[in-house]
């Protein structure tokens, strides 16, 4: 039973390694390097499964270090851009007050769900899913002659998010104006207006992500 489990773990590790190598290596080097690693892994595995797994992980890390910065440069730049924007936004939230006041689940759902659903209906499930894969894989991006449909995914998503943001602003303003009394205005309007504006904030954040994604796909 233990040997069966060990074999399954080894197969899973080899499969993961193959995907990582395919992502990080130039296309002409993937097959020969994976073949050598696969052969050497089984030789070491006969002596010790643990040593074989440790050796394979070290080799994969070495390949990532030496090749991915050139083969997946666009992916790294995209991720750095996204994380930089997130860091700046979070820092702005922190400087503006408590982070909790910038998070509202209903507002997130109002913006994100329609944006995702409309984009999904506009381009189809296959194109929608592959659009996100292209953001993280330069090889796939380079293989495509055109990315118009994939760009459309993020164009529709960004525009829908902005529309829903303004929709949240308008509906929130109507709700406040219809239900607030003169006596409660001073104490209620501020917090209510802040929550109302969160939909626009989330739509701007989603629009920014879509803008960076479009730049990634059109480079």
d(CA 143, CA 130): 13
DSSP annotation of 97 reads S
CA distances from 126 to 73, 192, 209 (A): 25, 40, 20
Name which of 210, 219, 190, 179 is nearest 111 in CA terms: 210
Q: How many residues does the structure list for the chain?
A: 219
Q: At what angle do helices 2-24 and 49-63 cross, to 10 degrees?
A: 10
Could you say which residues of the chain have pLDDT below 70?
Answer: 1-8, 181-191, 219
pLDDT of residue 154: 96
Q: How many CB atoms sit inside 10 A of residue 73's CB?
A: 11
pLDDT of residue 196: 80
Query: For the whole prediction, is pTM greater than 0.75?
Result: yes
Would you list the DSSP string of 53-73? HHHHHHHHHHHIIIIIHHHTH
pLDDT of residue 184: 65
pLDDT of residue 212: 95
């Amino acid at each position: 039973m233990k040997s069966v489990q060990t074999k399954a773990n080894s197969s899973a590790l080899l499969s993961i390694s193959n995907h990582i190598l395919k992502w990080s290596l130039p296309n002409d080097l993937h097959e020969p390097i994976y073949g050598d690693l696969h052969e050497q892994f089984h030789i070491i595995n006969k002596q010790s499964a643990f040593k074989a797994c440790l050796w394979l992980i070290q080799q994969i890390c070495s390949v990532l270090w030496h090749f991915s910065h050139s083969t997946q440069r666009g992916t790294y730049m995209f991720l750095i851009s996204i994380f930089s924007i997130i860091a700046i936004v979070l820092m702005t939230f922190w400087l503006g007050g408590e982070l909790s006041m910038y998070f509202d689940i209903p507002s997130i759902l109002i913006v994100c769900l329609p944006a995702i659903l409309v984009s999904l209906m506009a381009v189809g499930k296959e194109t929608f899913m592959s659009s996100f894969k292209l953001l993280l894989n330069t090889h796939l991006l380079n293989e495509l002659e055109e990315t118009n449909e994939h760009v459309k995914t993020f164009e529709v998503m960004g525009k829908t998010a902005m529309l829903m943001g303004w929709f949240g602003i308008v509906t929130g303003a109507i709700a406040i104006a219809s239900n607030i009394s003169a006596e409660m205005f001073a104490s209620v309007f501020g917090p209510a207006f802040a929550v109302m504006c969160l939909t626009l904030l989330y739509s701007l954040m989603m629009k920014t992500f879509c803008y960076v994604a479009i730049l990634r796909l059109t480079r």
